[in-house]
Amino acid sequence: MESISIANAQHYTWPSAISEHTCDGWHLHRSASLSVIEERMPPGSAERRHLHQHATQFFYVLVGELTIELNGEEHMLTPLTGLSISAQTPHQVFNRGAEDARFLVISDPPSHGDRVTVEPGGC
């Protein structure tokens, strides 16, 4: 069995919801029951506010800082801290820091195809 890293993992990109930046993701593990992704968000980037119908997610910061808005409350994550987000919980992730944020997103079950965009203040 080969070890996995961002050098050999499946890579994808996604656009920031609030800037011209492009964010990166690498699938470190994919199975029917679990997804482990490393993501990179440049300073000033954010994802769209959304929820997952079935997936519970755990965000764990490796480098930089993330702000996660969860049900109207903001949580600041710094290196080596994490936050769990239950299914059906509206959230949005921002990089308001001065450097790239690198973090793990662990989803049970995998969250791809399970995402519903929501407007701020709504579900």
The structural domain count of the chain equals 1
Q: What percent of the chain has a predicted confidence (pLDDT) above 90? A: 89
- Specify the pTM: 0.93
| Residue 107 belongs to some domain of the structure | yes
Residue 94 confidence (pLDDT)? 98
| Residue 65 belongs to some domain of the structure | yes
Instruction: Kindly report, residue by residue over 91-119, the tens digit of the pLDDT.
Output: 999 999 999 999 999 999 998 888 999 97
Residue 21 confidence (pLDDT)? 95
SS3 readout for 17-72: CCCCCEEEEEEEEECCCCEEEEEEECCCEECCCEEECCCEEEEEEEECCEEEEECC
Q: Parallel, antiparallel, or unpaired for β 91-95 and 56-63? A: unpaired
Residue 123's pLDDT band (cuts 50, 70, 90): very low
| Residue 11 belongs to some domain of the structure | no
* Full residue range of the structural domain in which residue 65 is found: 54-77+96-113
